[in-house]
Amino acid sequence: MQFIIRKKENIEDQYHTAAIIGAGPAGITASIYLGRAKIDTVVFERMIPGGYIVATDKIENYPGFPNGISGEELGNLMEKHLKRFDAQVKTEEVTNVELDTYPMKIITEEGSYSAEAIIIATGTKNKRLGVPGEDELVGKGISFCAICDAPFFEGENIVVIGAGNSGVQEALYLSKFAKSIKVLEFLDHPTAEGILLDRLKQKDNLELLVSQRVTSFIGKDRLTGVEVEEKTSKKKKVLKVKGAFIYAGVSPNTDFLKGKLDLDKEGFIKTDEELRTSKEGVFAAGDVRTTSLHQVATAIGDGALAAHNLREYIEEK
């Protein structure tokens, strides 16, 4: 008798009726709905369930928590809800998909899977500024996560780049640690909600500077300064700081989908009102799709609708 030892990549695809790529609020909600419908579903998440909200200090606009709730706590509650319906969660990053086959194929670094229908809920990542010194100093004074890195800047002078909701909210959190914080905004006005701006004004160690463009990050082994340019006068100056937290918008996690689905010019997935994409049997939910609002509440609504429409698609097939 001859025994054949197969390599992992040669093992037959693991089949599931449905697959969800991403386990943020949208993906978790979709999984809960499909689990209750008794549809065999696999969920892929490269990090931990909860997505971007886990790194958020406090969420105050999600119904049911009148005093607000930390992103980490809400993420943990969502993960518990996810596991209640025996969700099959794979801690694997999806690197490729084949959407023109039936069933469709999902490829990760660990293996390959097949499914009759897919929900893409991969969310977004923070944009980089693309200026000199940025790539070299990420992790050496430049950060994208206040919750993760705030303690490293105890008693230091730092900047927060971006005065939208995320930037101001994270600046408020950082104010507990830093000696002083300058919040830099390229526009001539902040775009954060009024309640957040009121709190910013009440902090003695927070200062808002508008019409400021970051032109470079300075430092060899560690960040020592940030060069900024005043938008109108074009005058430049260097702010001597030990830390810089960047909140200059987001871009979608859709690199693995280029050429496979219709995307808008920024890379977000185009959908119809039923959250169907340009490929039959593929839906998109949450921040990864073209939408005017990126919030936990809208992502959860998307997850429910995508799961409902996927179920109907499966039943019709």
Q: Is residue 97 part of a domain?
A: yes
Angle at 60 between CA 148 and CA 308, to 5 degrees: 95
- Which of 246, 263, 280 marks a domain boundary? 246
162 and 122 in a common domain? no
**What contacts 173, CB < 8 A, 6 or more positions away?**
57, 58, 146, 147, 150
237 and 262 in a common domain? no
94 and 112 in a common domain? yes
**What contacts 51, CB < 8 A, 6 or more positions away?**
22, 23, 24, 25, 27, 75, 123
Q: Is residue 50 part of a domain?
A: yes
d(CA 234, CA 307): 51
116 and 189 in a common domain? no
d(CA 118, CA 314): 11
Q: Is residue 2 part of a domain?
A: no
Q: Is residue 277 part of a domain?
A: yes
- Which of 222, 246, 270 marks a domain boundary? 246
d(CA 72, CA 55): 7
Q: Please, are residues 243 and 278 in contact by the beta-carbon 8 Å criterion?
A: no
- At residue 203, what is the residue type? K
The domain total for the chain is 2
> What confidence score (pLDDT) does residue 36 get?
95
263 and 119 in a common domain? yes
179 and 44 in a common domain? no
154 and 223 in a common domain? yes
254 and 120 in a common domain? yes
- Would you give per-residue pLDDT tens digits along the chain (317 residues)? 343 333 334 345 799 999 999 999 999 999 999 999 999 999 999 988 888 788 888 898 899 999 999 999 999 999 999 988 878 999 999 999 999 999 999 999 999 999 999 999 999 999 999 999 999 999 999 999 998 899 999 999 999 999 999 999 999 999 999 999 999 999 999 999 999 999 999 999 999 999 999 999 999 999 999 999 999 999 999 999 999 999 999 999 999 999 999 999 999 999 999 999 999 999 999 999 999 888 999 999 999 999 999 999 999 98
Q: Please, are residues 214 and 226 in contact by the beta-carbon 8 Å criterion?
A: yes
Find the domain containing 236 and state its range: 134-246
For residue 230, list its beta bridge partners.
212
Q: Is residue 106 part of a domain?
A: yes
d(CA 313, CA 246): 41
CATH of the domain at 53: 3.50.50.60
240 and 266 in a common domain? no
155 and 121 in a common domain? no
DSSP string, 94-123: EEEEE-SSSSEEEEESS-EEEEEEEEE---
The residues that are catalytic are: 145, 148-149
**What contacts 246, CB < 8 A, 6 or more positions away?**
126, 127, 128, 129, 142, 143, 144, 161, 162
193 and 271 in a common domain? no
Q: Is residue 3 part of a domain?
A: no
Structure tokens at 307: 């799961």
120 and 43 in a common domain? yes
Q: Is residue 5 part of a domain?
A: no
- Which of 217, 246, 275 marks a domain boundary? 246
